[in-house]
Chain A
Amino acid sequence: MKKRNRVIKKIFSSLLQSLIVLIGITFISFLILHLSPGNPAEIWLTGGDGNVGQISQEAVKAQEEKMGLDKPFLIQYGMWLKKVCYGDLGESFTTGQPVVSELQRRVMPTIMIAFVSLFLTMLISVPLGIGCAVYKDRWLDNMIRSVSFLGISLPTFFTSLVLLWLFCLKLSIFPVIADTDVKGMVLPVAVFVIQCSSRLTRQVRAVILEQLNQEYVKGAVARGVKKSRILFSHVLKNAMIPVLTWVSIYLGILLGGAAVVETIFSWDGLGKLAVESVARLDYFVIQGFVLWVALIFLALNFLVDVICSMIDPRIKQD
């Protein structure tokens, strides 16, 4: 009974702390947007081509009023926050659509890419990382390490452009401007898998090597336990927590939508939406995006904490 109370208390306090963080983040982003020199009302009226001179001051004023931009900053933020509590993220300045539906439309493509990329990354990295650690300094290890080393030194936008050039322009396997479907997914996923699997392979290798050097492994070897048994039933279990943490970090980054890669492959995901919205100073869409990224970050942190304390009971006491 006592234990249960403690768990409930812990969950409650972490929810409260997340709420504080969320308010902090959205406040900062609202403040920065507010400080930006552009006027969303003018951008809306001119359609973004900057012919401000042709528009009367009255029209701008009226539009500002309509958008709620004439009020003081804190009241604007308060109004936004109040609406968010009811699940309303406001409307996009550019399309007039509710931000929630804008985000919903763009979130699926990003989620698809994120999960496919992460799944393939784990499929590649976990076995390779284990192989490297077990056969440390042998040819397999050296080769995989070198390749992954080159992989982590490649910027994603360079890989993207090279793949675009090779597969779309030279070989014409994929169209240059892809639809947001399975075929269009191949190249962006390839870019992410190259980037993430290079990193994860090295991380898995390092974690496994660290475990293999622990006393308990020596003890088990001395007791005559089979090597494969040590690896699969002890080492892997202990290596799971750091690997899980890394995977959650990648998932967080991927779910935020990689702006550059999505823009290059004209993939209609969240990252591209964010770039477009910033260019048009579309306040509420940007706020919605920031909220989404922060929520994902906090949720993943929470999830990892819970899973880790399930795997390793020692963490609970903390």
Chain B
Amino acid sequence: MKRKKTEEISFYILIGLIVILLLAALLAPVLAPNDPFKTELTLALIKPDKEFPLGTDPLGRCVLSRILYGARVSIFSSLCIIGIVFFIGTAIGVTAGYLGGAVDMVLTKIITIMQAFPKFILAIAIAGVLGIGIKNTILALCLVEWAEYARISRNLSRGVKQRTYIKAAKVCGESRLQIMFHHVLPNVLPTLVVNASLGISSMIMEVAALSYLGVGVKSPMSEWGAMMNIGKDYLQTETRLVIIPGIAIFVVSVLFNLFGDKLRDILDR
């Protein structure tokens, strides 16, 4: 009993930390000590001091300000991706799983095709077609990631379909759409919610990895992976340029992963 209480408290603390994180990202323009986009070559590669708490990058931009602005891009773009793929993937998966037959066969083929597609080739190609930018990165990752949610929700829906309560609903004359919304969806949602919350951190890493390869965000937009890409050329002398954004990604990932883990424990109970 006592154990349950402490677990509950730690879950609320976690939510509090995530809210603080989101606020910090939202309030970046207020919190940032300097203009993150102002390049000043005379101020390049300054060690941390009073004016620049985390120093400056090779273009003389304040690292702390860029980290704060980068949080917006990294966190909100991954939340956006997860939201979109969760919605689309679940809709497609539940439809395929519940309806079955030819619909299921076609949709499953499409899901398999997307899952077998090398993710970053698609992202880079989309960046090539539509231009480099965070919107196109979000689009590219959405195009590949929905397949995972569709597959999970399809398999779960197929299981749910066999249950007696679905048959009962059918006998009572509920339409297919009603059954899908009222009976199938609520039963597959918990697993998908946990999957989505654990997916946030991997999305942050994907976005950062693409930016690191130079196809994620357009400069001078600030993003943690892009910051590490700049920093890697100064690995020997200015290690902080890599370490600081890396730690930012790490800390945010830990928070969201812990959140997903705790959510699973709660929903499993």
A residues neighboring B (CB under 8 Å): 17, 20-21, 24-25, 28-29, 32-33, 35-38, 149-150, 152-158, 161-162, 164-165, 169, 256, 259-260, 263-264, 274-275, 278, 281, 286, 289-290, 293-294, 297-298
Majority-rule SS of A interface residues? helix
Q: Mark B220-253, 1 if CB is under 8 A from A, else 0.
A: 0000010010001001100100110010011001
6 A-B pairs within 8 Å (CB atoms) are namely A29-B117, A161-B228, A165-B236, A259-B213, A286-B121, A289-B118
The residues of A that contact B242 with a CB separation of less than 8 Å are: 158, 161-162, 165
A155 touches B128 (CB 8 A): no
Cβ distance B144 to chain A, nearest Cβ, rounded Å: 11
The residues of A that contact B205 with a CB separation of less than 8 Å are: 155-156
Contact of A153 among B112, B235, B257 (CB under 8 A): B257
A149 touches B257 (CB 8 A): yes
CB of B116 within 8 A of chain A?
yes
Complex formed: what's the CA distance from A275 to B210 in Å?
11
Contact of B213 among A35, A260, A286 (CB under 8 A): A260
Please report which residues of chain B, range 116-155, place their CB below 8 angstroms from some CB of chain A when the two chains form the complex. Answer: 116-118, 120-122, 124-126, 128-129
Contact of A32 among B116, B125, B225 (CB under 8 A): B125
Q: Mark B172-206, 1 if CB is under 8 A from A, else 0.
A: 00000000000000000000000000000100010
A35 touches B113 (CB 8 A): no
A290 touches B209 (CB 8 A): no
A293 touches B122 (CB 8 A): no
A290 touches B109 (CB 8 A): no
CB of B69 within 8 A of chain A?
no
Complex formed: what's the CA distance from A150 to B225 in Å?
19
CB of B115 within 8 A of chain A?
yes
B109 touches A25 (CB 8 A): no
The residues of A that contact B213 with a CB separation of less than 8 Å are: 259-260, 263, 275
Complex formed: what's the CA distance from A164 to B236 in Å?
10
Nearest residue, chain B, Cβ from A277: B121
Q: Mark B242-269, 1 if CB is under 8 A from A, else 0.
A: 1100100110011001100100000000
A274 touches B118 (CB 8 A): yes
A155 touches B235 (CB 8 A): no
